[in-house]
């Protein structure tokens, strides 16, 4: 799905925040370790996991239609609230916020 996103013309793909695009490139396409990918995206590693979860939901909705619920256990657990980031609200992507 990540390759489909980048192969699509900018007018024919969903709009993602810069942190999400950087996360897709560094973690998914370049297979960097979580710590390095989080630094590239400017988020903590736990927030990166949640961000990628939301990106996958967004891409599934955009390319395949429908609503998808990705269980939290797929992402894994994060101790305490260390995943919290100042822009956590920006990490939440909803189908209504996607431009086609």
Q: Per residue in 43-85, pLDDT tens?
A: 998 899 999 988 988 888 888 886 666 565 554 544 443 434 3
Residue 48 within any structural domain of the chain: yes
Residue 84 domain-assigned?
Answer: no
- The count of domains in the chain is 1
Query: 95 lies in a domain?
Result: no
What is the chain written as a DSSP string?
-HHHHHHS-GGGS----HHHHHHIIIIIIS---HHHHHHHHTS-HHHHHHHHHHHHHHHHHHHH-S-----HHHH---STTTT--TTHHHH---GGG---
In a domain, 82, yes or no: no
Residue 90 forms part of a structural domain: no
Can you give the pTM of this predicted structure?
0.65
Instruction: Please indicate, yes or no, if residue 58 is contained in any of the structural domains.
Output: yes
Is 56 a member of any domain? yes
Range of the domain at 58: 15-74
Residue 93 domain flag: no
């Amino acid at each position: 799905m990540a390759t489909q996103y980048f192969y699509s013309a900018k007018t024919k793909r969903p709009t993602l925040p810069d942190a999400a695009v950087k996360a897709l490139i560094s973690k998914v396409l370049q297979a960097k370790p979580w710590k390095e990918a989080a630094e590239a995206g400017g988020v903590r590693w736990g927030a990166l996991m949640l961000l990628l979860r939301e990106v996958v939901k967004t891409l599934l909705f955009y390319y395949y239609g429908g609503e998808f619920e990705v269980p939290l256990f797929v992402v894994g657990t994060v101790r305490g609230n260390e995943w919290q980031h100042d822009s956590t609200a920006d990490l939440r992507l909803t189908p209504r916020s996607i431009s086609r």
